[in-house]
Amino acid sequence: MRRYLFYVSQPYSYAILRPLQAAIRERGDEVAWLVVGCTAKPLGADEKRVMSFREARAWAAEAVFCPGDWVPFFLPGIKVKVFHGLPINKRAHKPEKQSHFRIRGWFDLYCTMAETDTRRYQKLAAEYGHFAVAKTGWPKLDAILASQPKGDAHNGDKLPTVFYASTFSDDVTSAPHLVNVIRRMRDSGKWRFIVTLHPKMPEQIVAEYRAMANEYLTFIESDQDFIPLMSHADVMLCDTSSILFEFMFLDTPVVTFRTNMPGPYLLDTKTPEQVEPALREALTHPPELMANMRRFADELHEFRDGQSSKRVLDAVECFLDNPPKLKKKPLNLLRKIRIGLRLRREAALQKRLDQSGA
C-alpha cells in the first residue's frame, strides 16, 4: 500500500485533486491532505487531514502532489506538479516567460496535458536535467467531463443560464465593469446567472455580487466546488480566467470581456453594452465558433476519456518503481529561506482559520 500527500494552499486545489484521490483509493492506496494558508472547510469527514508539517513528515508519503508553483521542499516523497490550470498564455508573454513553463527547481515530475506543452517541458527537462515529464492529462478535467448533463430542475423554466467567472488582477478583471450589466440582466427576468469569483478578488467586489443572489442569480463562494453546476450553463461569460477553457470541454460557448486571450474560439466584447447581444449570439451555437472552440480545446488537453488521474498515478508509480537518472535539484537556498518565512506566516494563518472555523 502506497501513501500519498496532497499539498493545498489555495481553495481551487480541492477540485483538481479530488479525482486523483478517487483514483488512489480505487488502487487501495492512501492519501492525506496538508492544508496551509487557506480554508480546510471543503474537506469531508472521510478525507484524512494532517494538521502540521510534523504530521506530514510522519505520514511519510512516497509522492506529494501540488497544483501550485511551489511545494515544501522538506516533505518526504517525490514532488509531482499537476498544475492549477490549462497551459494558456494569459498575458501574451513570450513562451519562455509564461508562468506555466517557469522552472523553479521544486518538482521531480511534471504531468502535462497535450503534445504541445509536453514538447515544451521535454525540452526544458533536457536543458535542466533534474525532473521528468509525463503526458497524462489534468485530473480536474476528469470531474468536469463526468459532471451532470444539461437539463436540470435548477432551470425548469428554460431561461438561458450564464455561468460568470472573473479573475482578480486589476488589469484583466471584468468584475467591476460588469456588475451593473449582470444586475440589469438578472432583474429583467430573462436570464439566470451562476457567479463565482477568484479567491483573491477584493472583498468589496465579492460582497457586491454576493448581495445580488436571488432566484435568478446563484452565487458560489470561492471555497465551494462549482463543477456540479458547470453543466447547468448554456453559455459562459468570463475575462482572462483559465476557467473559460474548462467550459469548452462541455461544448459550452464562451463570451469574454476584454480578454487577453482572444481567438476564433470565443466571442470577445469591448464594452459592457456588447455583452448581452454577444451572449444571445453564443446561444445560437454558431457552427464556425463551435468548431474552432473544439479544435482549440483539443490542443490544450488531448484526452477526453476521463482517465487522466489514472495516467498521473501510472506515471508516478513508474517513477517510483524505476527512478530515472536525474541531476540533483538546484540548492535554491535563497528561495528556500523565502519559502520558510512564507510557510511560517501561512501556518499561523491556518491556525487562525481553523480556530475560527473559516
Q: What is the pLDDT of residues 261-318, one digit of tens each?
A: 999 999 999 999 999 999 999 999 999 999 999 999 999 999 999 999 999 999 999 9
Q: What is the DSSP letter of 2?
A: -
Q: Where are the domains of the chain?
A: 3-143+306-356, 152-300
Residue 154 has pLDDT above 60, yes or no: no
- pLDDT exceeding 90 applies to what percent of the chain? 81
- Rounded Cα gap, residues 285 and 38, in angstroms: 39
CB 106 within 8 A of CB 70: yes
pLDDT of 31 > 50? The answer is yes
Q: Is 163 exposed, middle or buried (0-12, 13-18, 19+ CB in 10 A)?
A: buried
Please determine, looking at this structure, whether the domain spanning 3-143+306-356 carries the CATH number 3.40.50: yes
Q: Tell me which of 32-36, 89-93, 107-111, 244-248 is least confident.
A: 89-93
**φ, ψ (nearest 5 deg) of residue 24:** -65, -45
Q: How confident is the model at residue 93 (pLDDT cuts 50, 70, 90)?
A: very low
| Beta-strand pair 254-257/161-166 | unpaired
Residue 14 confidence (pLDDT): 96
Question: What pLDDT score does 98 carry?
Answer: 64
Give the distance, in angstroms, between the CA of residue 34 and the centroid of all CA atoms in the same chain: 18
Is pLDDT at 96 greater than 70 in this prediction? Answer: no
> 7-16, 148-157, 347-356: which has the highest mean pLDDT?
7-16
Asked whether the predicted pLDDT for residue 27 surpasses 50, the reply is yes
Judged against a pLDDT cut of 60, whether residue 155 lies above it is answered with no
19: cell is: 479525482
Q: How confident is the model at residue 90 (pLDDT cuts 50, 70, 90)?
A: low
Decide if pLDDT at 38 tops 80. Answer: yes
Question: Under CATH, what is the fold of the domain 152-300?
Answer: Rossmann fold (3.40.50)
Counting every residue, how long is the chain? 358
pLDDT of residue 61: 98
CA distance 351 to 159: 44
User: With a threshold of 0.85, does the pTM exceed it?
Assistant: yes
How far apart are alpha carbons 72 and 83 in whole angstroms?
Answer: 16
Interhelix angle 13-26/308-321, nearest 10 degrees? 70
Contact 175, 182 (CB under 8 A): no
Residue 70's Cβ-side half-sphere holds a number of Cα atoms within 13 Å equal to 14
Helix (H) or strand (E) holding 219: strand 217-220
Cell numbers placing 95: 513562451
Q: Are the folds of 3-143+306-356 and 152-300 the same?
A: yes
Q: What is the mean pLDDT of the chain?
A: 93
Q: How confident is the model at residue 242 (pLDDT cuts 50, 70, 90)?
A: confident
Beta-strand ranges (E) seen in 38-179 are 49-50, 63-66, 78-81, 109-112, 132-135, 161-166
Strand partners, 78: 63
